[in-house]
């Protein structure tokens, strides 16, 4: 809940849907599990980049996008706001906010993994 845009309900729902963070080998696995991983289809010489995979919990994706919107537009989180503004200049705002939600999820994962590592060092 220390991350801007994340409330008690958001944190509790993400924890309930994702479960224990130690079962993931890295942040890419968490992003894939939630369904925020970009899909790329390749065949021969052609490469098509599509949207996100949408596998996993739609509720968690929705909450992350809402939290990213709050962090970017209301909480004025400098890190996410700068990232969002850079993407909006190249892509549309929907894609930029989903990318910010993905970055927020990676930050959550890194915070939890760092916390686990420090708690195990006794």
pLDDT per position as a tens digit, 72-108 = 998 878 889 999 999 999 989 999 999 999 999 999 9
32-44 pLDDT, tens digit per residue, is 999 999 888 888 8
Q: Across the strands, what pairs with 47?
A: 42
Q: Enumerate residues 6+ apart whose C-beta is below 8 A from 17.
A: 57, 59, 60
pLDDT at residue 53 in the model: 84
pLDDT at residue 120 in the model: 55
Q: Kindly list the domain boundaries of the chain, sorted by start residue.
A: 8-120
Cβ atoms of residues 36 and 98 within 8 Å = yes
CA-nearest of 51, 22, 5 to 109 is 22
Q: Enumerate residues 6+ apart whose C-beta is below 8 A from 77.
A: 4, 5, 71
Question: What is this structure's pTM?
Answer: 0.84
The helix (H) or strand (E) run that includes residue 50 is: strand 46-52
């Amino acid at each position: 809940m220390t991350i801007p845009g994340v409330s008690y309900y958001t944190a509790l729902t993400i924890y309930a849907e994702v479960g224990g963070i130690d079962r993931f080998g890295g942040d890419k696995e968490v992003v894939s599990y939630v369904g925020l991983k970009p899909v790329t289809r390749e065949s021969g010489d052609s490469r098509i980049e599509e949207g996100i995979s949408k596998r996993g919990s739609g509720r968690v994706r929705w909450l992350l996008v809402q939290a990213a919107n709050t962090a970017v537009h209301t909480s004025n989180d400098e890190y996410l706001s700068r990232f969002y503004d850079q993407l909006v200049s190249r892509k549309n705002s929907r894609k930029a906010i989903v990318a910010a939600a993905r970055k927020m999820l990676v930050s959550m994962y890194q915070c939890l993994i760092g916390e686990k590592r420090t708690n195990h060092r006794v």
